[in-house]
Amino acid sequence: MQKAEVQKALERFRDHVVSVSKRNLTNSKKNSSKKLYNSIKGNVKAMPNSFSMEFTMEDYGVFQDAGVSGTKKKYNTPYSYKSKMPPVKAFDKWIVRKGLAPRKSGGQFTSRKSLAFLIARSVFRNGIKPSLFFTKPFEAAYKNLPQELVEAYGLDAIELFNEQIDQIIKNGNN
């Protein structure tokens, strides 16, 4: 497999992970602002002797993917709330986008500030359940990747080694 073929395989891997991650976000109804959805990107770089790949997204995407343990409800995640609640203002626009306007027992609307506080407190206590919107497609695609690329990197290494040997021979004859 040539270097160009390896790059194409990595680009297919990247495109698959990005598209399935975005679909998972939408299907799990975690795509209300589209900010996280639009931020998911991948980059493949080819250098003379190697390749690199990186995925980027909004910082909070890591917490949506891996989850966050609350003070009362625990998840299998390295992240947890301990003593500081999430910022109340973070839920204000979300409440508007979701069209939430609950009423008190007397029929009056609950203030958005009060509702945002109650949601923040609930997240603090119950945490954020892991969605694995990114982890699952990455791991699934990765399982299919190694065989194709092991061969490719093996051939590339042989090709690179042969080029280096040829260069050494040329330099030795001068």
Q: Are both 57 and 9 inside the same structural domain?
A: yes
Higher-confidence residue of 70 and 12: namely 70
Q: Are both 85 and 29 inside the same structural domain?
A: no
Q: pLDDT-derived band of residue 174, with 50, 70 and 90 as boundaries?
A: very low
Q: Are both 46 and 72 inside the same structural domain?
A: no
Phi then psi dihedrals of residue 27, to 5 deg: -65, -30
Nearest 5°: the CA angle 26, 137, 25 is: 15
Of 6-15, 16-25, 56-65, which gets the smallest average pLDDT?
6-15
Predicted local distance difference test score (pLDDT) of residue 139: 86
Neighbours of 138 (CB within 10 A): 20
Say yes or no to pLDDT of 62 above 60: yes
Q: Are both 153 and 120 inside the same structural domain?
A: no
CA 152 to chain centre: 26
Q: Distance between CA 88 and CA 111 in Å, rounded?
A: 13
**Number of domains composing the chain:** 2
Q: Are both 60 and 118 inside the same structural domain?
A: no
Q: Are both 36 and 72 inside the same structural domain?
A: no
Predicted local distance difference test score (pLDDT) of residue 146: 55
Neighbours of 159 (CB within 10 A): 13
- Domain housing 137: 1-67+130-174
Q: Are both 23 and 58 inside the same structural domain?
A: yes
Section 6-10 average pLDDT: 82
Find the Cα–Cα–Cα–Cα dihedral 148, 154, 157, 162, rounded to 10°. Answer: -120
